[in-house]
Structures are given as structure tokens and as C-alpha cells.
């Protein structure tokens, strides 16, 4: 909204309507800026956090596999030790 339109509204409807329009315009601009910030932050989160979560999930899966192999090995060693004692 340019100043000529604003003065026309002020002349036609008075300063209170002009103030209301100004505050609505100001808040609308603020909302646009905040929306842009939120979109950027969400994008950054997706670009940074999602790969980290994927890497963490892969590491946890590999660690789980290793722990399962170790458990099977320990069970076999324990079983073999009991058979030798018998």
C-alpha cells in the first residue's frame, strides 16, 4: 500500500481506520517474515537432523547385530564348557 492510497483512506474514513489498516498491514508483513524463518528452520532441520538420525539408526542396527553374534558365541562357549564338565 503506498502513501497516496493511505492518505485517500485517511481522508475518506478518518485516522482510526488508517491506524487499523496500518496495524493489519504491519502484522501481515511480520507474519510473512516469521513464516519465511519457520520454513528455513524446518528445511535446515530436515537437512541436518534427518541424516544424523539415519546414521544413528544404522549404527544401532550394526551394534545390535554384533551383540546378537556375541550372545550366540557366548552361549555356544558356555554350552561347550558344560558338555566338557559332564
> For all residues of the chain together, what is the average pLDDT?
88
Compute the chain's Rg from CA coordinates.
Answer: 34
- Give the pLDDT score at 70: 96
Residue 8 φ/ψ, nearest 5 degrees: -65, -45
d(CA 49, CA 41): 11
Contact assessment for residue 21 and residue 1, using Cβ atoms and an 8 Å cutoff: yes
pLDDT above 70: residue 1: no
Convert the pLDDT of each residue in 23-38 to its tens digit: 998 999 999 999 999 9
What would the grid cell of residue 27 be? 502484522
DSSP state of 41: H
Convert the pLDDT of each residue in 58-71 to its tens digit: 999 999 999 999 99
pTM: 0.51
Amino acid at each position: 500500500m503506498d502513501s497516496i492510497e493511505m492518505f485517500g483512506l485517511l481522508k475518506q474514513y478518518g485516522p482510526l481506520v488508517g491506524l487499523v489498516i496500518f496495524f493489519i498491514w504491519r502484522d501481515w508483513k511480520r507474519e510473512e517474515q516469521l513464516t519465511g524463518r519457520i520454513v528455513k528452520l524446518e528445511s535446515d532441520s530436515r537437512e541436518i537432523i534427518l541424516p544424523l538420525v539415519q546414521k544413528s539408526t544404522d549404527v544401532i542396527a550394526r551394534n545390535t547385530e554384533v551383540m546378537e553374534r556375541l550372545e550366540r558365541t557366548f552361549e555356544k562357549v558356555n554350552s561347550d564348557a558344560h558338555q566338557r564338565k559332564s
